[in-house]
Structure 1
């Protein structure tokens, strides 16, 4: 792959945008290899957008002063800054399936390659997950597929003409019944939440309260039968939980989980519940007045969380209410509406991230940040031409910013590390024009995915602690990388964090390839990339007829989930950072193989010696089946 831009803009990144140094693009999944964002050679000024064909060296950005950069003119007939894109297209390589940056098409990175999510990869918004796997169809790694979850670009209704966008908005605004992600402020006042264990889908009517329970609540422990046939060496079923909430006909997404003390917490529909990690018994339940519509990946170190809740219960309701919750007790803390930054600040959907005691609220061309402990607003949109619109939290606060330009088809993005208290940029990395920040696969070390919609390419770049280009991943031709970044559709909100299927340590990035179904059963391999060079260090094939998915690091080794298949249960395995054969850490019992393989879309985590399998969505054709849906399966040694 070609290298991302090496020149960096002045510290701070705000104000009139500097000419982008080399950018880091990404390719779509269908391409043979991902292309990396083009970068300007060190010491040379950017020379323009990456050439259509792979240049001898990394593509260069346009020289400073180029008319297309800087203070752009407003999009025709469109609202001001951050003109929205049309709903039909998913952001990012969004929508269209393009060859990977490493593929054959000349991209800033030469050939087009299958996106790290080449063909059928769980796209952050890729295609719809396949039953039991949660992997979307062909998409870019981290790039939404058409109609899939929102893309990463900060543009309003990205890549759609002003006329179409205006028309789409007009229909929604006039009809007042458009899709939940494309509506104006409804003016609906959220009903106050009420306490109580009721699971009635109707909105509660009182203040959010907690059902503390007595330890004998609704937790569904595993029946003794689940362990009756356990074989030597197999893990024990700690508990199995089934759905106990009456949901709307369309079902509901499950947010979380979050761990604090001896509790595991999840949110779904209009409630948040905490369960004992030991036996699954419900310790508390907090009812909310409307649907949960946004959630960060992590909570604060002391167990505080901020969720996004809709401001009403109609289709026109916005995701504009923030609710703080103490996960240790289930008590509701402060609640407030997100401050709107002007007429074109769309709050129909938002993205949340927590870093330290700060929660950020991102959406198209706008953002706010609040203190988690007391709800005080810490900072909002900065002055200048570039505005943060999406964030990744955790050990650091990483932002994706969009700079106003005179060409919506040739966007200018930036990656920044922000001070979580002041919002000031510690450094700014600017890719070449046309390359958009799509996902953050790791905050420390920092690994970012970039997409170029026009070129149908993507690239994965590693940045240093000071925001300089460290390397761009260069997969071997034919290797199609895959990552699962979810599947929710959001047009105005964007979330950089939340992708699974990757792992990283100080100097290596681990990622799996797409399933190879050419044999009698699916299989794949895991590839380790050197973050200092971007080149593969080693690859480890999955056991015969099995598929491996990286989960993280455990005891210095790479932790992976070996997915179940029709005649075998799943397992957690590890591989040394130097490569080798997978070694079993926790073998799930064969007796629950059918249950494990029955999760339509799942998230797997290893915490405190326990293996957790969570359902990411609960849905069924009728109420009876709905209450039989397995939502959490936990194993222990």
Structure 2
């Protein structure tokens, strides 16, 4: 479903007396989100291991993931393949999340925890209906909340919440989001965690629930400007839609809200006819705005008080940011974009290549001025994708080619050539290249790739589809 492509300087946007360049171009977001199920009393259960190489290139299992592994290269630790008969249209994958020695994904009617070292299944939580939503990030104590459909039919709503401990697979509290009324009741909710609060946002309503026991902490306003999505983490940010006489002229706001009460700490009014689209970072605050007609895209850095810090000046480059996820009906996910990173003073984005999968650059922008600080070319035949920060450096994923494995590298705060920390073996390149709408996670010196969605032409291919893969020393 494409990627976010931002393009050229197109005009001036005036906010609070200051002038800001606007990025304009095609807007082809990869926004997919879907299903979640519930269980009457799901319990974790242990299971078997999955395909893995032995690290020496001897061809153990179906394929030798570590063939051609050179001295110093990382190992392909495991590949988890689908073992569930999915609906004809396939199913979305949620996660991966890591807690201690367990990596977890949710798909269709189960949540599964795997060993980070060999991919053996540590526990499984069976569900009776489909997973339809999940928190983007776990809580600080290693818990996530999934949403499952409230029934097995096509008319079922994505309303039933369930807490799951990532380490043990133990199921905690369950809660049903109150049903709305009217047309907006068709909206799906998206979920995010901030502190001890689970925030559920939808076009029709919004709620806050306690992560401790699931009790409702707050409900968003029922009239006026209403939150339709949240971004979590060190802050809880809400994107709001305000009443307008013309649907084609939206009015949006961004707020930081108190996780315990839902009360706004500050409010930022988006420029006229612009929409709050994504939150690339909550600390520091970096957000994406779009204008639908004419198509334009802008990236703002915000101060802690909600005033504009700067607008990113992207020049004439095109940028590649993937915001894939499960399909959301009349709703929106603010988080989950791949290809962006930020620290206290700098924001990082990758340029788009002239050809698909080709070389690109990572550009560092000064958050106080919005201007570029430095550029690092990817080198070689493939591109770099920023994943996050570690020890002051930018962690990037060097994408694989058809005959060579990918790699995890870091770029120093002052820029310069990427320094490889995990070089993936060439024997795993085919599988590494196979993930549809891939999601990436680097944690504990291990790199995990998970498919964003699993589907196939027939049952045989479906059971061969890789859903997750891991690399490490």
Q: TM-score w.r.t. structure 2 length? A: 0.92
2:25 aligned to which of 105, 114, 136:
114
CA distance in 1 between counterparts of 2:425 and 2:49 reads: 24
Give 1:299 shift: 1.6
| 1:39 aligns to 2:41 (yes or no) | no
1:543-622 matched pairs, under 5 angstroms: 543-622=379-458
Give 1:458 shift: 1.5
1:424 aligned to which of 263, 288, 311:
263
| 1:363 aligns to 2:221 (yes or no) | no
- Asked whether the 8 Å contact 1:293–1:308 carries over to 2, the reply is yes
Which position in structure 1 is the counterpart of 2:57?
Answer: none
CA distance in 1 between counterparts of 2:111 and 2:14 reads: 44
CA distance in 2 between counterparts of 1:384 and 1:459 reads: 28
CA distance in 1 between counterparts of 2:269 and 2:11 reads: 17
CA distance in 2 between counterparts of 1:296 and 1:191 reads: 14
| 1:208 aligns to 2:119 (yes or no) | no
Which position in structure 1 is the counterpart of 2:52?
Answer: 221
The Cα offsets for residues 573-607 of structure 1, whole Å up to 9 and x where unpaired, read as: 11112111111111001121122122233122211
2:319 aligned to which of 454, 478, 481:
481
Q: Secondary structure at the match of 1:595?
A: helix
| 1:471 aligns to 2:307 (yes or no) | no
1:143-162 matched pairs, under 5 angstroms: 149=32
Q: Secondary structure at the match of 1:591?
A: helix
CA distance in 1 between counterparts of 2:219 and 2:38 reads: 27
Which position in structure 2 is the counterpart of 1:334?
Answer: 173
CA distance 1:411–1:191, change in 2 (3 Å): closer
Which position in structure 1 is the counterpart of 2:99?
Answer: 260
- Asked whether the 8 Å contact 2:38–2:160 carries over to 1, the reply is no
CA distance in 2 between counterparts of 1:522 and 1:407 reads: 42
Which position in structure 2 is the counterpart of 1:309?
Answer: 148
CA distance in 1 between counterparts of 2:185 and 2:291 reads: 24
1:414-563 matched pairs, under 5 angstroms: 414-477=253-316, 479-517=317-355, 522-563=358-399
The Cα offsets for residues 218-267 of structure 1, whole Å up to 9 and x where unpaired, read as: 44433544335421121112222211111112111110011112111110
Which position in structure 1 is the counterpart of 2:228?
Answer: 389
- Asked whether the 8 Å contact 1:618–1:629 carries over to 2, the reply is yes
CA distance in 1 between counterparts of 2:178 and 2:199 reads: 12
- Asked whether the 8 Å contact 1:516–1:522 carries over to 2, the reply is yes
Give 1:532 shift: 0.3
CA distance in 1 between counterparts of 2:38 and 2:93 reads: 22
CA distance 1:365–1:35, change in 2 (3 Å): farther
Which position in structure 2 is the counterpart of 1:627?
Answer: 463
Give 1:191 shift: 9.4
CA distance in 2 between counterparts of 1:417 and 1:462 reads: 14
CA distance in 2 between counterparts of 1:390 and 1:490 reads: 11
Larger Rg: 1
Which position in structure 2 is the counterpart of 1:66?
Answer: none
Give 1:37 shift: 5.1
1:345-356 matched pairs, under 5 angstroms: 345-356=184-195
- Asked whether the 8 Å contact 2:287–2:299 carries over to 1, the reply is yes
Root-mean-square deviation (Å) = 2.3
The Cα offsets for residues 281-337 of structure 1, whole Å up to 9 and x where unpaired, read as: 111101111110011111211222211111111211111111122222212222222
Task: Name which structure has the greater RCO, CA cutoff 8 Å, separation 6+.
Answer: 1
CA distance in 2 between counterparts of 1:36 and 1:267 reads: 44
- Asked whether the 8 Å contact 1:339–1:368 carries over to 2, the reply is no
CA distance in 2 between counterparts of 1:623 and 1:411 reads: 44
Gaps of 5+ in 1: 1-27, 43-56, 59-101, 103-108, 126-148, 151-179, 182-189, 194-206
- Asked whether the 8 Å contact 1:208–1:286 carries over to 2, the reply is no
Q: Secondary structure at the match of 1:515?
A: coil
CA distance in 2 between counterparts of 1:366 and 1:474 reads: 35
Which position in structure 2 is the counterpart of 1:412?
Answer: 251
CA distance 1:445–1:271, change in 2 (3 Å): same
Q: Which runs of 4+ in 1 moved over 6 A?
A: none
CA distance in 1 between counterparts of 2:94 and 2:249 reads: 34
